[in-house]
C-alpha cells in the first residue's frame, strides 16, 4: 500500500511500507531547490541506504515466496502414492 505519510506507514504498514514512505520523503527533500547544499550529501547518502534496504527486503520477500511455491511440491509421509506421477 502507498501511504501518504511516514507516520501512517509506521502505524498501519509494514517495514517495507515505512521504508518506501521515507524514500519518497527523502526524494522530495533532494528535489526541493530550497534544500541547502550542505544537506544534500547527507540526504543523498541516506536515500541510497534506504534504496538498498528496500531492495534487500523485496529480494527476501521474493525468495520467501519462491520457497512457499516450491514447498507445495514436497512429498512427505502423509502423501498418497500416485503411480501416474512416475
The confidence score (pLDDT) of residue 1 equals: 79
Q: Cell 544537506 appears where?
A: 39
The confidence score (pLDDT) of residue 86 equals: 72
Cell readout for 47 is: 536515500
Interatomic CA distance for residues 86 and 84, integer angstroms? 5
Interatomic CA distance for residues 8 and 75, integer angstroms? 43
Residue that wins the pLDDT comparison between 9 and 1? 9
pTM, entire model = 0.72
Is the pLDDT reported for residue 60 higher than 90? yes
Is the pLDDT reported for residue 74 higher than 70? no
CA neighbor of 24 nearest in space, from 33, 34, 32, 14: 32
Amino acid at each position: 500500500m502507498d501511504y501518504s505519510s511516514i507516520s501512517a506507514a509506521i502505524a498501519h504498514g509494514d517495514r517495507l511500507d515505512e521504508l518506501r514512505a521515507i524514500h519518497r520523503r527523502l526524494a522530495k527533500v533532494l528535489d526541493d531547490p530550497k534544500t541547502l547544499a550542505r544537506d544534500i550529501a547527507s540526504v543523498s547518502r541516506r536515500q541510497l541506504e534506504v534504496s538498498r534496504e528496500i531492495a534487500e527486503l523485496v529480494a527476501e520477500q521474493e525468495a520467501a515466496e519462491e520457497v512457499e511455491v516450491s514447498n507445495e511440491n514436497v512429498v512427505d509421509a502423509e502423501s498418497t502414492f500416485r503411480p501416474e506421477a512416475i
